Amino acid sequence: MNRLVGENLSIITSKAQTTRHRIMGMVNGDDFQIVYSDTPGVLDPKYKLQEGMMKFVYNALQDADVLIVVTDIFEDNMNHETLVEKIKEMDVPVFVLVNKIDLGTQEQFESRLEHWSKLLPKAKVAPISALHSFNTERILEAIIEQLPENPPYFPKDELTNKPMRFFVSEIIREKILLHYKQEIPYSCEVIVEEYKDTEMLVRIRAVIIVARDSQKGILIGHQGKMMKRVGTDARKDIQSFVGKKVFIELFVKVDKNWRDDEKKLKRYGYLD
């Protein structure tokens, strides 16, 4: 979606399940508006948090005029029979985009083509490289051809449906995903408690919530060095995003049950 929209609206790391929310990104032309809806990846939920993530996926299916299934050259299967059946029942154009084609061989793509053609017979399967913009322009043209005629849903100068605080929290969470291993990133939630935008400076205060005391120690690191690294990297990206200087304060708080606490998940935007 970032490549097609032209802005980094969804965080990108090599780890699975980086996207937790449903993020909309708008692309406007003289005679069209595309509203992309980027969802979390498909999984079997282990927490109420993940149940909320899968609800975003199913809600997006109900709204879709065109469905884009993004996989890659190395992914073997979509191990979620219920979702596959729902896709087969949908009466909309379906594209399967096999990403990272630049890292694989022709034989690998042909194998993926055969697999997805059998799994979703109505779908059009196409190779892409989002990193190098390979085939993305043709995909954009194909999507525009399939759009139904409607007035635009959003004002033409809007880029997304999410507020600035959301993107600040996502940039911080992206840095946690990049700098920490194993369970740490998946146990974290980032809450922006303060966002003050002045003429010369944006002041940000954010709290990183973790599930265990031991995770708090790892997150902060010896003499706070790891947390300083996260803050420095996040500040650089936020400055680029907002176009002015940023001052950021990060704090860590332990909340052992946040991933299964419905009240808190509603507050964080995962549940209705």
CATH code for the domain of 60 = 3.40.50.300
Structure tokens at 166: 């959301």
How far apart CA 67 and CA 143 sit, in angstroms, is 9
CATH number at residue 252: 3.30.300.20
Say which residue, 166 or 7, is predicted with more confidence.
166
Asked whether residue 10 falls in the same domain as residue 122, the answer is: yes
Does 7 lie in the same domain as 133? yes
Domain annotation covers residue 200? yes
* Residue 168 and residue 63 share a domain: no
- pLDDT for 18 equals 76
Residue 239 belongs to a domain: yes
Residue 131 banded pLDDT, cuts 50, 70, 90: confident
Is residue 56 domain-shared with residue 113, that is, in the same domain? yes
Q: Which one of 92, 118, 146 terminates a domain?
A: 146
In a domain, 151, yes or no: no
Q: Please state, in angstroms and rounded to a whole number, the distance separating the CA atoms of residues 78 and 43.
A: 9
Cβ-contact 256, 247 below 8 angstroms = no
Q: Contact, 38 vs 9, CB < 8 A? A: yes
> Phi and psi of 212, rounded to 5°?
-140, 155
pLDDT confidence band for 139 (50 / 70 / 90): very high
246, 181: one domain: yes
Helix (H) or strand (E) holding 175, with range, is: helix 164-179
What's the confidence (pLDDT) of residue 145?
95
In this structure, is residue 152 part of a structural domain?
no
Q: Note whether 31 and 118 are same-domain residues.
A: yes
| Same-domain pairing of 21 and 138 | yes
Return the half-sphere exposure (C-beta side, CA atoms, 13 A cut-off) of residue 255: 17
- At 15 the pLDDT is 56
Q: Domain count of the chain? A: 2
- CA angle 268-249-258, nearest 5°? 25
Does residue 69 have a pLDDT over 60?
yes
In a domain, 212, yes or no: yes
Residue 272 placed within a domain: no
Compute the average pLDDT of residues 141-169.
Answer: 90
In a domain? residue 81: yes
In a domain, 109, yes or no: yes
Phi and psi torsions of 95, nearest 5°: -115, 135
Q: Which of 170 and 76 is assigned the larger pLDDT? A: 170
Q: What percent of the chain has pLDDT over 90?
A: 65
Span of 79-93, 189-203, 246-260 with lowest mean pLDDT: 79-93
The whole-chain average pLDDT of the chain stands at 90
Query: Where among 115, 146, 177 does a domain terminate?
Result: 146
- The C-alpha atoms of residue 235 and residue 203 are separated, in whole angstroms, by 10
If asked whether residues 249 and 176 sit together in one domain, one would say: yes
Tens digits of per-residue pLDDT, 232-266? 999 999 999 899 999 999 999 999 999 999 999 99
Mean pLDDT on 188-216: 96
Q: Do 26 and 64 sit in the same domain of this protein?
A: yes
pLDDT greater than 60 at residue 12: no
Residue span of the structural domain in which 80 resides: 2-146
Please report, to the nearest 10 degrees, the dihedral formed by the alpha carbons of residues 255, 55, 168, 100 taken in order: 120
pLDDT category at 41 given cuts 50, 70, 90 is confident
Residues 6+ apart with CB under 8 A from 231: 248, 249, 250
Average pLDDT over residues 139-149: 93
Clarify whether residues 231 and 105 are in a common domain: no
Regarding whether 176 and 142 lie in a shared domain, the answer is: no
Look at residue 23 in the predicted model and tell me its pLDDT: 87
- Strand blocks (E) in 58-157: 67-72, 94-99, 124-127
pTM above 0.95, yes or no: no
